[in-house]
Amino acid sequence: MSIISLLTDFSLKDNFVGVMKGVILKINPEAKIVDICHQVKPQGLLEAALLLKSSFRYFPSGTAHLVVVDPQVGSKRKKILVKTKNYFFIAPDNGVLSPALKEEPAIEIIEITNEKYFLKPLSNTFHGRDIFAPVAAHVSKGEHVEEFGRRIESFQVLELPKVKITSQSLVGEVIYIDHFGNLVSNIDAKTFKNFTKNKIFKVFIKDKIINHLSHSYAEGLTSKPLALIDSFNYLEIALRDGSVSDYLAVDKGEKVVINRI
């Protein structure tokens, strides 16, 4: 396969994404490049990690997933290439891969050190162009991972916010806000169902109370937030035909509390 996915915080305002694609295609003109997202909040490691975790498995086996959200670009942080049963992952070693790799375990972890694959001269501020894009392009051509550097045993781990469970309460928080203003919590469907156990419950967010789960956005009212399990299996708070983030004036980190009645 010569599919490469791209996930960055570069936005589309500047030329960074286009230049990375040009580098890839110059090395492998047969590469198929798929944009996952380039609107990650600048330096938004958690946001990028969540988007990767919820996206990677929908790609064909052999895809190289390239993530460039790199607050420490130019520093001594490692650059890694990870081979799993089905995919390759290329990114700075800052934890951004760890939620995905928890579900798709690493078979080999390579610290990228072989400068043969780097563009020259090497910029200290654009490793996406000079290191990560060339490596992804060569991986997509079938280059063995051992050629890119030395094997290492571990990578940085980025811990997702944990839910807190008591006898009567499940406490999570908003960890992502999508383009529509929907609030994605860190409460996954399995945790939610195990806690509620088909009993009566209430969902509290800010000063609003939601008494049941909806099956779709269309079930809601335009003036009342609803709760549902979203397409990536997380509890989500939404507002029909509107942005619940704006309506409630909340941001990431807002508490989401579920009480059993």
C-alpha distances (whole Å) from 149 to each of 110, 135, 169 are: 6, 11, 48
Scanning the structure block, which residue is given the tokens 């928080």? Answer: 173
Cα-Cα-Cα-Cα dihedral sign, residues 7, 9, 14, 19: negative
| pLDDT for the residue 27 | 98
Task: Give the burial class of 171: count Cβ atoms within 10 A of its Cβ; 0-12 exposed, 13-18 middle, 19 or more buried.
Answer: middle
Ordered by start, the domain boundaries in the chain are 3-152, 164-260
Question: Phi and psi at residue 134, in whole multiples of 5°?
Answer: -60, -40
Tell me: cis bond preceding 99? Omega within 30 of 0 counts.
no
Give the tens place of pLDDT for each residue, 110-132: 999 999 999 999 999 999 999 99
pLDDT of residue 1: 66
Beta bridge partners of 184: 176, 236
Positions in the chain short of pLDDT 50:
none
Contact 64, 90 (CB under 8 A): yes
Architecture in CATH for domain 3-152: 3-Layer(aba) Sandwich (3.40)
Q: Look up the pTM and report it.
A: 0.93
Tokens of 145: 């991972």
CA–CA dist 152, 66 (Å, integer): 19
**3-state DSSP call for residue 7?**
strand
134-182 residue pLDDT tens: 999 999 999 999 999 999 999 999 988 999 999 889 999 999 999 999 9
| DSSP helix/strand/coil, 177 | strand
Classify domain 164-260 at the CATH superfamily level.
Answer: Bacterial fluorinating enzyme like (2.40.30.90)
